[in-house]
Amino acid sequence: MKVDRRITNLIITGFSGTGKSLVAKEVALRLNWDFLDTDDEIVKQAGKPIAEIFRQDGEGRFRELEREMIRKACQQRHTVISIGGGAIVDPQNYELLAKTGLIVCLEAKPETIYERLFREAACNPGTEIRPLLAVDNPLERIRQLKASRQSYYAKADWTIHTDGLSVNEVAEEVIRASRLLRRYAPRNDREKVQSGIDKDIACLVETTTQSYPVFVGYGLLDKLGEKMKKAALSGTATIISDENVFSLYVSKAEGVLKSAGFAVNSFVVPAGEETKSIDYAIKIYDFLVEHRTERDDIIIALGGGMVGDLAGFVAATFLRGMPWIQVPTSLVAMVDASIGGKVGINHPEGKNLIGAFYQPNLVLADCQTLTTLHQRELTSGWAEVIKHGLILDEEFVQFLESNVDKLTKLEPELLTRAIARSAAIKAQVVSQDEKEKEGKRTILNYGHTIAHGLEAATQYKRFLHGEAVAIGMVGAAKLSQRLGLLSSAAVERQQSLLQKFGLPTSLRAEAASQRRGRKRSNFKLSLAGITRAMELDKKVRGKSIRWVLLQDIGEAVIRNDVPQQDVLAVLRELAEP
């Protein structure tokens, strides 16, 4: 019998101050596993603190002891092992650890790490000060050392951003990740060591009803059949697509599915938001009935968010729900619409009024399909990508800032990384709040309160959604600044990033880009029109609007005490020349 050695241990790594030891202890307690901290064991064995080993015997000796301790630890079974922050840099250690357990890396921003180490030192006077703090500029030292180790941390099977999370919350995430990783890890040791976990998996979404992988890659459409078979799907696949995407990709998708053994039917709908309606849902039901579709057959949504929402709605309701796959082909769909299981159709009285939460069995995003997407749609999609960085991940914002040119030119490797990261952020948020009940999902609405006001006030005809979100994010950042939450430098940083991706950052800029050749529309904006539409926005609770604001780049906060006059002032600023 082949033994899946991955389930043997759980290894927690990460920089100092990311809470490895406390989290590992908590995880061990919850799983009823043993707990081992290699640093603690070294201290016990050497009979002196680590700083002293460094000082008296040198770092080389410490690394030797560490290697020995890791070798011993890897002989354990069902143990949560917390390892020192530098241990994973050693290739021998890494190989041994990767062979015997799942590696989870805890991440935190340098500022968070500094704060935590500082607090720890203040709370434990008399204990030896950490070498990291015993330098002139500890924050800079943390930054440098962390950056030098980042590529090693990136080899972990899973990464958890711990900023703003309690030990219990991180422990919960570790357990969730380990369960999911085990499910999707190859069963065979050798395969594992050579290839690791399916490297096309960008993230996993885990909800109470369904857990599923999100695959992101360049040219990944070729692997659609293979991934579906691995997810234990079989039978007839009905592809639903709009006419634009159909003409470009359906023959390829059909070919790939047929050669993987699936029977395939395809149904094409007109492109455009009007198609997301009960009329088209009925047309698809008719098609499914006519083709004698059964409960364990599969629906595949191949297209942008419109197709995803409509096909998902049909999948949720036909025969009381059937398996379905999202194959998003627009940037918005890849990083946003395909993740989280919100499906639905529009009602003449409002967008997305009818729908359900119905999670797909898998999401497969082939970034190469973006090469045929209309430039304006692509640019609009970057707004949601940037939004994900702004609300939760400053490092990702830095990555976007450093790679604007290559990303906007769709350079395959960087594009794949950006989409995978952005999708992972959305997946992390929706996994914590599947049905938008706990308020955690609310942060995804950053920029959306003003955006919905702009869209509704122009009957959804003047702005693409991302364009309105970009302007809305500028408004929300200015509002954050007015409330004393955000610095003017951060407001400018956000604005400059949006501009570099070609997004409008004010109603003026939007008008200018329309003059530069975009189709003009007759939908004029008035301040009263926008505020009226904003008050109708469904995020209004009682009388106050729940504003998603920033207290830093990468840190969203929710406020429902924003004075109306500040909102008006910001809207005026966005509109004034």
Ligand X SMILES: NC(=O)c1ccc[n+]([C@@H]2O[C@H](COP(=O)([O-])OP(=O)(O)OC[C@H]3O[C@@H](n4cnc5c(N)ncnc54)[C@H](O)[C@@H]3O)[C@@H](O)[C@H]2O)c1
352 catalytic, yes or no? Answer: no
For the sheet with 101-107, list strands across it: 34-37, 79-82, 9-14, 101-107, 158-161
Give the interface size with ligand X as a residue count (CB under 6 A): 27
576 is catalytic: no
In sequence order, the 6+-apart residues with CB closer than 8 A to the CB of 411 are: 403
Please give the residues from 256 up to 275 whose contact with ligand X meets the rule CB under 6 A: 271, 273
Binding ligand X by CB under 6 A: which of 81, 268, 322, 332? 332
* Residue 503 sits in the site that holds ligand X (CB under 6 A): no
Per-position x/- string for 184-213, each x denoting binding to ligand X as judged by CB under 6 A, each - no binding: ------------------------------
User: Least distance from C-beta 454 to ligand X, angstroms?
Assistant: 15
**H or E element that contains 343:** strand 342-347
Please confirm, yes or no, whether 342 is among the known catalytic residues: yes
Integer Cα distance of 52 and 57 in angstroms: 8
Closest CA to 244 of 212, 272, 216: 272
Q: Minimum distance from CB of 275 to ligand X (Å)?
A: 8
Active-site residue, 516 included: no
44 is catalytic: no
- The three-state DSSP-derived secondary structure of 499-550 is HHCCCCCCHHHHHHHHHCCCCCCCCCCCHHHHHHHHHHCCCEECCEECEEEE
The answer to whether 442 and 309 have CB atoms below 8 angstroms apart is no
Q: Which residue is nearest to ligand X (CB)?
A: 305
Q: Does 356 engage in binding with ligand X (CB under 6 A)? A: no
Q: Structure tokens of 491? A: 């407001």
Structural contact between residues 382 and 332, judged by C-beta atoms closer than 8 angstroms: no
**Residue with Cβ nearer ligand X (210 or 352):** 352
Token pair for 399:
């990555």
Candidates 217, 304, 323, 360; binder of ligand X (CB under 6 A) is 304
276 binds ligand X (CB under 6 A): yes
Closer Cβ to ligand X, 6 or 276, answer by number: 276
For ligand X, which stretch binds (CB under 6 A), given 16-24, 25-33, 49-57, 241-249? 241-249
**Mask for 131-150, x = binds ligand X (CB under 6 A):** --------------------
68 is catalytic: no
Q: What is the CA radius of gyration of the chain?
A: 25
Is residue 191 among the annotated active site residues?
no
Taking the complex as a whole, how short is the minimal distance between the CB of residue 377 and ligand X, in angstroms? 5
Name the helix (H) or strand (E) containing 346: strand 342-347
Q: How long is the chain?
A: 577
The residue assigned the tokens 């005026």 is 572
Residues numbered 359-418 forming contacts with ligand X, rule: CB under 6 A? 369, 372-374, 377
- By the rule CB under 6 A, 425 interacts with ligand X: no
Tell me the C-alpha distance between 228 and 542, whole Å. Answer: 45
Q: What is the DSSP letter of 24?
A: H
Give the amino acid at 235: G
- What minimum distance in Å lies between the beta carbon of 286 and ligand X? 22
| 281 interacts with ligand X by CB under 6 A | no
Residues near ligand X (CB under 6 A) are 242, 244-245, 248, 271, 273, 276, 303-307, 309, 329-330, 332-333, 336-337, 340, 342, 352, 369, 372-374, 377
Q: Which residues are catalytic?
A: 320, 342, 384, 426, 436, 441, 445, 448, 452, 465
